[in-house]
Amino acid sequence: AGLEDRIRVIRGLAEAPVEETALAPVLHEVAERPQTPMLFEDFLDAVHRKREPLLTQTDIFRVTEIVIRSRESADSGRLLAI
């Protein structure tokens, strides 16, 4: 995955590059947002029912890694591999 794989949603608009090497974005209106699962409630239910929660420990560690590397990238002004 590279920069050309980015999609951003800002104020109801989804932005994605036109082609792999293009930097010009294409804007698409986002009609409706998907229902966000209640992750904490799901976690409690998963503990109670002894099942895997929607957001796994592996997912949590991966998201944390992405956030930390993103912050490092922003602080240094460089692109960093994730």
DSSP 37-81: P-HHHHHHHHHHHT---SS-HHHHHHHHHHHHHHHHHHHHTS---
Checking if the pLDDT of 28 tops 80, the result is no
| More confident: 51 or 10 | 51
pLDDT at 52: 93
pLDDT at 75: 87
Phi and psi at residue 9, to the nearest 5°: -120, 120
Band of pLDDT at residue 65, cut at 50, 70 and 90? very high
Any idea what DSSP says for residue 3?
G
pLDDT at 7: 55
Other CB atoms within 10 Å distance of the CB of residue 69: 13
